[in-house]
Amino acid sequence: MELRHLRYFRAVAEEKHFGRAAHKLHMAQPPLSQQIKQLEDELGVALLHRTTRRVDLTPAGEAYLARVRAILQSVDAAGDEAVRIGNGLEGRLVLGCVGSATYSLLPALARSLREQLPAVDLAFRGEMLSPEQLGALRDGSIDLALLRPFADLAQSTDVSVTALREEKYVVALPEGHRLARRSRVRVADLRGEDLIVHSGHGRSAMYDAVTTMCRDAGFEPSIRHEVAETSTLVTFVAAALGVAVVPEPVSALVVAGTVYRPLASRARMALVVATRADDESALLVRTLRILEESVARESSTC
């Protein structure tokens, strides 16, 4: 028994006529009659009651037709699902995101993805440090990472990295801080200030960027607090526990007691997207295209 036998039987049962069923199936009537006879012989039961003018279902045929319809519907649905997954229209995708992009890029990106890929099961993990995302990519916990460049990422051959944009820096300051009265803040102005930074020791690109800027300006940074999440960092600033240098998109995170001022520096922090080098799924390709469109729209409105 093959699926074609089931399709032949369904056509005859629904048309109640071998000639009309053969026409519907684009085949001659004698081979169709032969195939149905083979099916009945294999089952050992008559499915059809034949007369010279029409074909009726036997009680066994009625029951068999119900099962056949369900089987063929499932087979067709499976094929449609496979095609949609192969075309990147269905599936599951998990995106990781650094803190600054969590509050600026991610909301618009999530809306675009849900609008354009409504059948895809999307999950998001925000506030992930860049090294954490690299590990999650490798173990399959996430499929796409929005992160900052750092040494281990640059040396990795198992991931594919694409630059998305370069971001300016701002300084997050407690409301009422002496530097909050200025329109711009220089790196040198941060000498002696307690700094709040993302966790260091090789775990944060921002940690390296901030310490490098301070040393290039001729002083050793006074790091008072290290945090893992951007929301915690900005909350600490609001609590007057220190000041912080962050990428400009962090200013989208409004916390009472915190103000942002541009940093007078030519330094920039890159935002990149990384995927597993061997992941060539159509869903990932579609997601990357939507991501690039979202970044372009956001940049055009800035």
pLDDT in tens, 25-53: 999 999 999 999 999 999 999 999 987 77
CATH 1.20.1730.10 matches 169-267: no
CA 151, CA 30: separation in Å to the nearest integer?
Answer: 72
**Rama region for 228: left / alpha / beta (φ>0; ψ in -120 to 50; rest):** alpha
Residue bearing the bigger pLDDT, 260 or 102: 260
| Assigned CATH class of 91-166+270-301 | alpha beta
How far is residue 15 from each of residues 20, 37, 267, 301, measured CA to CA in Å? 6, 17, 75, 60
Q: Give residue 193's pLDDT band: very low, low, confident or very high (50, 70, 90).
A: very high
Hey, what CATH topology would domain 3-86 get? Arc Repressor Mutant, subunit A (1.10.10)
Q: What pLDDT is attached to residue 195?
A: 97
pLDDT at 220 over 70: yes
pLDDT at 87 over 80: no
For the chain, the domains span: 3-86, 91-166+270-301, 169-267
Q: What pLDDT is attached to residue 228?
A: 86
80-84, 207-211, 236-240, 264-268: the lowest-pLDDT one: 80-84
Q: What pLDDT is attached to residue 125?
A: 93
124-133, 165-174, 214-223, 231-240: the lowest-pLDDT one: 124-133
Is the whole model's pTM more than 0.85, yes or no? Answer: no
- Sign of the four-CA dihedral 224, 228, 231, 232: negative
Q: How many CA atoms lie within 13 A of 107 on its CB side?
A: 7
101-110, 188-197, 207-216: the lowest-pLDDT one: 101-110
Summarize the confidence of residues 119-146 as an average pLDDT: 92
CA 199, CA 89: separation in Å to the nearest integer?
Answer: 38
Domain 3-86 and domain 169-267, same fold? Reply is no
pLDDT at 210 over 60: yes
pLDDT tens per residue, range 200-209 = 665 678 898 9
Q: Give residue 140's pLDDT band: very low, low, confident or very high (50, 70, 90).
A: very high
